Amino acid sequence: YQGQYLDRETGLHYNLHRYYDPDVGRFMVTDPIGLAGGLNLYAYAPNPLGWIDPLGLKCGQPEWTNHGYKHFPPKNKSWKDIIKSTKSGPAKYSPDIDIKTLEYDVFNTGTPVTNGKPWKVKDMGKVIGASEGKESQWVRVELSGGTIHGHPISLDEFRRLTTP
């Protein structure tokens, strides 16, 4: 990474404030900015190709995208038909959901997934959409290229993404 140099004596990479061990993919000490750098204090970033901030000056929320309206409910279908369409098609939010607000909530307060990807999931406690032909109260939001987007997921997927 830019600004990093190899310490040949230790085999570690020095990054201004701390050493990075490329064999384990982790820093040797916690992030000097604490939890503001993310929940994993020893990680470089969940996605160092997409999360680029060489000067450490970026802050605030990432952009939100509607992902081509892929997960928005069609206006001309009943809720029953929308649920049925998710059996073989993409998950859909229910018509009464403020999708942008919900996805920012999941991004900010959701549980990081256990598969190492920059995703968060959350049990909303009420039906927010449909996935795999059934109503769903679970959401997955991912960070990709500096933007977030998400969709309802099944209980099975929620469990798979939150089980170590």
Q: What is the pLDDT of residues 107-143, one digit of tens each?
A: 989 999 988 888 999 999 999 999 999 999 999 999 8
Burial class (CB in 10 A: 0-12, 13-18, 19+), 92: buried
Judge if 71 and 138 occupy the same domain. Answer: yes
Judge if 77 and 144 occupy the same domain. Answer: yes
Which residues, 6 or more positions from 74, have their beta carbon under 8 angstroms from its beta carbon? Answer: 82, 92
Check if the beta carbon of residue 101 is closer than 8 Å to that of residue 148.
Answer: no
Number of domain units in the chain: 2
Range of the domain at 73: 63-162
pTM for this structure?
0.65
Judge if 18 and 88 occupy the same domain. Answer: no
Judge if 68 and 136 occupy the same domain. Answer: yes
Partners of 152 in beta bridges: 139
Judge if 101 and 158 occupy the same domain. Answer: yes
Judge if 101 and 26 occupy the same domain. Answer: no
Instruction: Tell whether 45 is covered by a domain.
Output: no
Q: How confident is the model at residue 156 (pLDDT cuts 50, 70, 90)?
A: very high
